[in-house]
Chain A
Amino acid sequence: MSALLEVRDLVKTHRVAAGTVHAVSGVSLRLDAAETLALVGESGCGKSTVGRAILQLPPPDSGRVAFDGTELTTLSRRRMRALRPGLQMVLQDPRAALHPRRRVRGIVAEGLVNARRPKGETAATVDAVLTAVGLDPAQVADRRPEEFSGGQCQRIAIARALAVQPRLLVCDEPVASLDVSVQAQVINLLADLRAERGLAMLFISHDLAVVRTIADRVAVMYLGRVVETGPVAEVYARPRHPYTRALLDSSPVPDPDAPPLGPALSGEVPSPLDPPSGCRFRTRCPLAEARCAAEVPALAEVGAGHRSACHFAADL
C-alpha cells in the first residue's frame, strides 16, 4: 500500500546574521491514511519546521514530499493551490490564528471561498463543521473570536481546517496553550474526527503524555534529525535511544508514588547554528564515545517498525 504522505531526506536551513540555522537535516517520514504520527521533541528540534515544509510553507531546501502520490516540492503554485484543501493545519495559538475582527462564519468559510466552492454549498458546510467540533452554529457563527475562550477558538480553527475536507491535518501543538481541563476536550475531539472522517494527522507536540493518548506512531526529533521512531506504545515501553529515554524520564507523572525518575540529562540543546558532528545528541549523552563524534548513526531497524539512530541501540 502506498502511503498518504511520504517525506524523504527533508532539509531546511535558515540564513541568519550569525550564520546558518540547520533547522531540519535529513528527515524522512511516512504517514498512512487515517493514521496519526506524532512528531515530538524540545524547542528548536525542527518539528514545526518539518510540519510547515510538508505544506510548502515555505518549501524545503531539498528532499521530497509526496502527498497521495503527487510530488509537492516541484509543483507549480497554481497546482499546489488546487491541492491545498487536502492538507490543512491547526496551530498552537488559536487566538493568533483567527482574525479577531471577522465573524466565525467568514473565518470557517475562508478555505471554501479560496477553493472556489459554490456559494450555496458554503453555508451548509460551515454549519456542519461547526456542529462537528461541538459548537452550535446558531449561537457562534455571527460572533467574533474575541468573544470566545481559548478552547472554543481552537474548535473554530479546527472547524476551518475541516471545512475543505482535508485528508491530512498537520496539528502544531494544538493543545499546548489550553488549560488542563480543556486540553482533554480538544484531544477527544481530534480523536473523534479522525475516527469519523478517516483523517490522517501529523501531531506535533512537546508533551509525551498527550502524544501517548492520541498517536499510533511517534517520531522523536533532536536538533533537526529523527533519532527514534516506531509504534508509540512500543517506543515508550522500550525506548532504544538514550534521548527518548531521557525525555520519558523527565516527563512529570501526576502521581506522588510514581517510581523515581532515571538520571537527569546534563546541559541543554546545543545551538542549531553549529550542531555537533556525528550524533548530534552526543554532547549530552551518557553513553557517548569517540565513535559518536565521527559517525552519524543511521536510523536502523531495532524491532517491528521500530527504528533508532544510536550506535548503541542494541545495548539499550
Chain B
Amino acid sequence: MTAATRRGGDAATDLATPVLEVVDLGCAFPSARGPVRALSGVSLRVPRGRVLGIVGESGSGKSTLARAVVGATPATAELTGGIRVGGADLAELPPARRRELRGRRIGMVFQDPMMALNPVVPVGRQVAEAARHHLGLSRRDATERAVSLLEQVGVPAARSRLRSYPHQFSGGLRQRVTIAMALSCDPDLLIADEATTALDVTVQRQILDLLAALVAERSMSMVLISHDLGVVAGRTDEVAVMYGGRVVEHGPTREVFHRPRHRYTRALLDSVPRLDRVPDRLSAIPGQPPDPAALPPGCAFGPRCPATAEDCRSAPPRMVAVDGHRAACLHPPEEP
C-alpha cells in the first residue's frame, strides 16, 4: 500500500500544502460570568515534515487549540474561524467526511495516558481498533498492525502483551501505547499535548526521543505542546508562544529563544530556573496569568509587563513581522 492510496489519493497529498492550517480561530465558552474567551484570532500553519512547538501557561489556550483541531472541544464551545487539514476546509465537509479526515490524518497524544486508554479493554485491541475502523482492516490484519506499531514505539515483547490491560503497564509504557494508537492510521500530523508532563525526567527523555525518531522516520509533522520551554527548545523547528488565548509570538525556534520580540517571551525565558546558568536571583514575573473570563481590553500581558504604556491598553496588539518572525508587542524588548 503506497502513501497515496492510503490517503485516498486526493489532491491534499501535494507536498506544498501545509498538513494543518488554522486561520483566525476563536473559541468561547458561555459561563455565568459571560463568555470565557479561550482562543482569539489564532492563525498558524504546520508545513509537511516540520515540528511546531506551542508553549504557554495554564489558561493560555494551548490545549483548547489542540482540542479544536481534532474536534474534541465540549459541545458548548463556540468556534469561529477556519481549520484546514491537508488543504481541506473542515467547515465545508459533511460531518462524516470531517471525522474521517481528522481520524486518519491526525493522531493525538494526551498528558494522561489513562484518559486515552480504556482500563477494561486489552491494549492490543485498543491499538487495533482505529485501524479496523478507519482503514477497514480485518481483525487479523489489524492485530498484526498493532504488534508492529507497539514494536515501533518500543514496547518490549509486544506480541505477548497484546492481551495485557493498561494497569499492567508502567506510566512510560502506557504513553508508548497511546502513541501507537495515535499512529495507527499513519497520520500526517501528530499532536502531543503535554505528552511527557506526567512522566519522570528520564522517561520523558525516552518519549521525546521516540517522538522525534517517529517524526523523522515517517516524514510526519508534529505539534509539540508544552508548558516547559526546555522541552520545546531542542526539539522543534518553529515555536508559537501563547498567552491569554492568543499567539503572541511565532517564529523559528532559535530566533524566538535568542531574540524574543515580545515582552512576555523575554520575561518567561528570564524567569525559568536553568541548569546551565545560575543567577543570584531569578527574575520573577509579577502577578499571575490572566483569567480567560476577565481578559483586559488591551494586551493580556499588560498588567504584568514592565514596558506597558497607554497604547497597550486600548486593543490587543496585532502580530507584525520583525526580524524573521512575528510578534504582537508594541514595545518589544531590546536585543540582549
Chain A interface residues toward B at CB < 8 A: 42-43, 149, 151-152, 179-185, 187-188, 191, 206-210, 212-213, 233, 236, 246-258, 261, 264-266, 268-269
Inter-subunit contact B273/A183 (CB<8 Å): yes
Interface residue B253 (Cβ < 8 Å from any Cβ of A): yes
Inter-subunit contact A264/B209 (CB<8 Å): yes
CB neighbours of B253 from chain A (8 A) = 256
Inter-subunit contact A179/B227 (CB<8 Å): yes
Given known pairs A206-B200, A209-B275, the reply for A184 and B285 (CB within 8 Å) is yes
Given known pairs A246-B202, A253-B234, A258-B233, the reply for A179 and B57 (CB within 8 Å) is yes
Question: Chain A residue with minimal CB distance to B156?
Answer: A267
Interface residue B118 (Cβ < 8 Å from any Cβ of A): no
Inter-subunit contact B273/A149 (CB<8 Å): no
* Distance between B284 CB and nearest chain A CB, rounded to angstroms: 4
Question: Chain B residue with minimal CB distance to A186?
Answer: B284
CB neighbours of A233 from chain B (8 A) = 278
For the complex, what is the distance from the CA of A249 to the CA of B208, rounded to whole Å? 13
CB neighbours of B227 from chain A (8 A) = 179-180
Inter-subunit contact A181/B267 (CB<8 Å): yes
Interface residue B228 (Cβ < 8 Å from any Cβ of A): yes
* Distance between A156 CB and nearest chain B CB, rounded to angstroms: 14
* Distance between B177 CB and nearest chain A CB, rounded to angstroms: 14
Inter-subunit contact A212/B289 (CB<8 Å): no
Tell which of A42, A181, A253 touches B274, judged by Cβ atoms closer than 8 Å: A253
CB neighbours of B286 from chain A (8 A) = 185
For the complex, what is the distance from the CA of A250 to the CA of B143, rounded to whole Å? 34
* Distance between B17 CB and nearest chain A CB, rounded to angstroms: 27
Tell which of A151, A184, A212, A269 touches B275, judged by Cβ atoms closer than 8 Å: A212
Which of B171, B173, B233 has most chain A Cβ within 10 Å? B233
For the complex, what is the distance from the CA of A181 to the CA of B288, rounded to whole Å? 7
CB neighbours of A264 from chain B (8 A) = 202, 205-206, 209
Inter-subunit contact A254/B202 (CB<8 Å): no
Inter-subunit contact B230/A251 (CB<8 Å): yes
* Distance between A190 CB and nearest chain B CB, rounded to angstroms: 11
Inter-subunit contact B275/A208 (CB<8 Å): yes
Tell which of B58, B202, B228 touches A265, judged by Cβ atoms closer than 8 Å: B202
Given known pairs A187-B282, A253-B274, A256-B233, the reply for A179 and B170 (CB within 8 Å) is no
Inter-subunit contact B289/A181 (CB<8 Å): yes
Interface residues of B in 265-289 (CB under 8 A from A): 267-269, 271-276, 278-279, 281-286, 288-289
CB neighbours of B273 from chain A (8 A) = 183-184, 187, 207, 209-210, 212-213
Interface residue B254 (Cβ < 8 Å from any Cβ of A): yes
Question: Chain A residue with minimal CB distance to B231?
Answer: A252
* Distance between A193 CB and nearest chain B CB, rounded to angstroms: 14
Question: Chain B residue with minimal CB distance to A249?
Answer: B205
Question: Chain A residue with minimal CB distance to B206?
Answer: A264
Which of A42, A43, A252, A264 has most chain B Cβ within 10 Å? A252
Inter-subunit contact B233/A206 (CB<8 Å): no
Write 13 A-B pairs (CB below 8 A) sorted by A numbering: A181-B284, A181-B285, A209-B273, A210-B273, A213-B278, A247-B202, A252-B229, A253-B233, A255-B257, A257-B258, A261-B205, A265-B202, A265-B205
CB neighbours of B282 from chain A (8 A) = 184, 187-188, 213
Which of B272, B275, B285 has most chain A Cβ within 10 Å? B275
B interface residues, how many (CB within 8 angstroms): 45
Inter-subunit contact A254/B205 (CB<8 Å): no
Inter-subunit contact B271/A181 (CB<8 Å): yes
Inter-subunit contact A247/B201 (CB<8 Å): yes
Which of A207, A208, A253, A266 has most chain B Cβ within 10 Å? A253
Interface residue B203 (Cβ < 8 Å from any Cβ of A): yes
CB neighbours of A268 from chain B (8 A) = 170-173, 200, 202-203
Inter-subunit contact A236/B275 (CB<8 Å): yes
Question: Chain B residue with minimal CB distance to A191?
Answer: B281
User: 0/1 per residue, B146-163, Cβ < 8 Å to A?
Assistant: 000000000000000000
Given known pairs A42-B200, A191-B281, the reply for A254 and B271 (CB within 8 Å) is no
CB neighbours of B283 from chain A (8 A) = 184
Interface residue B13 (Cβ < 8 Å from any Cβ of A): no
CB neighbours of B257 from chain A (8 A) = 254-256
Question: Chain A residue with minimal CB distance to B257?
Answer: A256
Question: Chain B residue with minimal CB distance to A284?
Answer: B202
CB neighbours of A251 from chain B (8 A) = 201, 230, 275
Which of B228, B273, B284 has most chain A Cβ within 10 Å? B273
Interface residues of B in 99-118 (CB under 8 A from A): none
Inter-subunit contact B288/A250 (CB<8 Å): no
* Distance between A107 CB and nearest chain B CB, rounded to angstroms: 20
Interface residue B308 (Cβ < 8 Å from any Cβ of A): no
User: 0/1 per residue, B161-190, Cβ < 8 Å to A?
Assistant: 000000000111100000000000000000
CB neighbours of B171 from chain A (8 A) = 268
Interface residue B40 (Cβ < 8 Å from any Cβ of A): no
* Distance between A192 CB and nearest chain B CB, rounded to angstroms: 9
Inter-subunit contact A250/B271 (CB<8 Å): no
* Distance between A46 CB and nearest chain B CB, rounded to angstroms: 14
Tell which of A246, A247, A255, A265 touches B233, judged by Cβ atoms closer than 8 Å: A255
For the complex, what is the distance from the CA of A187 to the CA of B274, rounded to whole Å? 13
* Distance between B198 CB and nearest chain A CB, rounded to angstroms: 9
For the complex, what is the distance from the CA of A59 to the CA of B289, rounded to whole Å? 40
CB neighbours of B209 from chain A (8 A) = 264
CB neighbours of A258 from chain B (8 A) = 233-234, 276
